[in-house]
Structure 1
Amino acid sequence: MFMNICEKWKTFGAALAALFIASSGGIHAQETSKYPTPEPGILYNRDGVDVFDSGYGSGMAQHPTESDLFYLMTDRGPNFNGAESGIKVFPVPAFAPRIGLYRLVGEELVQESIITIKDSAGNDISGLPNPEGAGSTGETAQDLGGHVLEPDLEGLDPEGLVAMEDGTFWISDEYGPHILHINADGSTIER
């Protein structure tokens, strides 16, 4: 069944690309616009260094019925390369990826709400890497003190976002061959 779904997505992707190229008369550069967003709040501070609560843009989807509403999704959360190869430092290990609902007002995106992504039991999902064999990136997660953080089977590195008319979302995950289907409140329906 999984291979059948993959084949359908591959066919859909090829058809979509062909449709885009055919409808545009080829591939051309398009003008871009900048839409300012509000200043982010501080998520965490350590020794005078602020970690900001921002980073919406890992995925984006237009609201299915309202053209001035957009969903923007965070990545897995703040992280940076450690001193050794394969180490990722997570200054806020409890960060839960989120989806922000933004309205385009004039030339500004105004955040209206935030949906925190949760597991099927309603617990916040972390952005920590999955364990080996479950779509692992091979990264070792550490906190700011250099302590190894346990891999998280439910950990999520969200990248792609689709907003459905029924209020649910589909999210692709960079950690492995995972696709999440979540409710409007952020709870996982299936993975």
Structure 2
Amino acid sequence: MRDAEVNWTGVTRQMEIDMSYAVSRLDWTDTSLGTIPTPRGQLALRASFGSGLTTRAGDPPGRVWAVCDRGPNLKVKIAMERYGLDLLAPLADVPGAKIMPDPSIGPTLAELQIAGDTVTLLRTIRLVDESGHPVLGLPDASSGHVVLEPVFDIQGQPIGPSQLGLDTEGIAALASGGFWIGDEFAPGLVRVDADGRIVHRLVPRRVDHAGIEGGEPGLPAIAARRQINRGFEALALSGDERSLFLAFQSPLAHPDEDAHRRARHVRFWRLDAETGEVTDQYLYPLDRPKSFRRDRMLGPFGREDIKVSEIAWIPDNGLLVLERGSATTKLYRVELDPQSILKPEHLDIRTRLTLEEMSAANDSALPVLAKHLLFSNDDIPEMSADLEGMAFLSPTDLLLVNDNDFGVEGAKTSFWRIRFDDPLWS
């Protein structure tokens, strides 16, 4: 039986779910990006478009836009164990070190067409800066006020930062033809035109020695307190395109990493899409680690392993949230209740206690978003791990895709359609 014909129907055993649905895998083949010789054979690179999905108002039915992340990268331990790159051993104890086997492969968009059970790649669009130079997936030199990930080439030599490095994750398509794209590095936001050229960028404002934010346009300085490699991964645009929604991947490391590890909530922001100003801030409660059954079967799994990887706009002021570990993926609906909006003081980097400290202490005074479980893949073991991209094809049809990490560990891209029996909006 072909993968595209595999189908599961039913309601999961989790009593919280009251939606019935059918799940099917769509037909897709990754494009080869070449191979790199290593002591243990070829490192095969594949196209990767699973970091974010979106649809555009006015496009033909089944048209979807996707974004890849920064480019192929490996943890040092995996590079040594899988590919025999023992020359990287001196980097094994470098915190957060990543190996980029081909730094020339960088942030790229893809235009896709869904027809029946098949996904077809129509074209790709490489992101370029204002001068037309390709954007690289290297650490961003303009964001020196945040902790940057150390990056090395396949020979173990350090790779310097880029003047405009992006780790592209979330994507939202504008009816005018451009896109908003979330960046995990800075973390930041970029707006690009229909040809992939950057026309506007928002990064965290800097603070002076007294902790006071600068007055330049940008995101609240508190965004720079994101845990390393846990910036913006989830991005959505309201139906009228007046509001842009962002979700941090994890709790901020604010005021320190201990708060990040212990906090139970993730910040969601609503931005004015015209000015880029944060108008509302919400707290999304993460599930308990023990509820991620597929992940717990694979080994130790803690709160720090839980991530918000995607959000999608639901008309009538709601969001669909993709909360996951690695193997377990859950989909929650949240309503953006005005009573859940946090006080403006919690956007100030100087405020103490911080939201993360209050979250870690389980402060019941914090207003949080109510969440309603619609789907969990814990009862569908055939479904891919590392699901990151998500977009509505219709009020009943949802498209999901995994991030194959450019195939550096042998993973392949898999697109999945969830068809709910009842529409999620009217």
| TM-score normalized by the length of structure 2 | 0.37
Asked if the contact 1:135/1:177 (under 8 Å) is kept, the reply is no
Residue 130 of structure 1: CA displacement? Answer: 1.7
Distance, in Å, in 1 between the alignment partners of 2:167 and 2:145 is 11
Residue 135 of structure 1: CA displacement? Answer: 6.1
Residue 132 of structure 1: CA displacement? Answer: 7.6
* 2:47 alignment counterpart: 54
Q: What whole-Å deviation, never above 9, does each CA across 1:135-163 have from its counterpart, x for those lacking one?
A: 64431110000000001131111111011
Distance, in Å, in 1 between the alignment partners of 2:70 and 2:155 is 20
* 1:36 alignment counterpart: 27
* 1:20 alignment counterpart: none
Distance, in Å, in 1 between the alignment partners of 2:67 and 2:132 is 19
AA at the equivalent of 2:55? Q
Distance, in Å, in 2 between the alignment partners of 1:135 and 1:59 is 26
Distance, in Å, in 2 between the alignment partners of 1:135 and 1:173 is 15
Task: Map 1:99-118 onto structure 2 (within 5 A).
Answer: 99-118=109-128
Distance of aligned partners of 1:56 and 1:27 in 2 relative to their CA distance in 1, 3 Å threshold: farther
Q: What whole-Å deviation, never above 9, does each CA across 1:89-143 have from its counterpart, x for those lacking one?
A: 0001111211110101220110001010111111110111123844644311100
Residue 39 of structure 1: CA displacement? Answer: 3.2
* 2:89 alignment counterpart: none
Asked if the contact 1:100/1:112 (under 8 Å) is kept, the reply is yes
Distance, in Å, in 2 between the alignment partners of 1:177 and 1:149 is 20
Q: What whole-Å deviation, never above 9, does each CA across 1:10-69 have from its counterpart, x for those lacking one?
A: xxxxxxxxxxxxxxxx87575433222223213342244133232211010013222210
Distance, in Å, in 1 between the alignment partners of 2:18 and 2:162 is 41
Residue 190 of structure 1: CA displacement? Answer: 0.9
Asked if the contact 2:141/2:164 (under 8 Å) is kept, the reply is no
Classify the secondary structure of the residue corresponding to 2:24. Answer: coil
Task: Map 1:42-81 onto structure 2 (within 5 A).
Answer: 42-47=33-38, 48-65=41-58, 66-81=60-75
AA at the equivalent of 1:177? P
Q: Does residue 124 in structure 1 map to residue 134 in structure 2?
A: yes
Asked if the contact 1:51/1:78 (under 8 Å) is kept, the reply is no
Asked if the contact 1:137/1:175 (under 8 Å) is kept, the reply is no
Q: Does residue 90 in structure 1 map to residue 100 in structure 2?
A: yes
Asked if the contact 1:69/1:101 (under 8 Å) is kept, the reply is yes
Distance, in Å, in 1 between the alignment partners of 2:74 and 2:25 is 26
Classify the secondary structure of the residue corresponding to 1:32. Answer: strand
Distance, in Å, in 1 between the alignment partners of 2:145 and 2:182 is 12
Distance, in Å, in 2 between the alignment partners of 1:28 and 1:37 is 27
* 2:259 alignment counterpart: none
AA at the equivalent of 1:97? P
Which has the greater radius of gyration?
A: 2
Which has the larger displacement, 134-143 or 108-117? 134-143
| TM-score normalized by the length of structure 1 | 0.79
Asked if the contact 1:129/1:137 (under 8 Å) is kept, the reply is no
Asked if the contact 2:126/2:134 (under 8 Å) is kept, the reply is yes
Distance of aligned partners of 1:143 and 1:36 in 2 relative to their CA distance in 1, 3 Å threshold: same
Distance of aligned partners of 1:161 and 1:155 in 2 relative to their CA distance in 1, 3 Å threshold: same
Distance of aligned partners of 1:102 and 1:147 in 2 relative to their CA distance in 1, 3 Å threshold: same
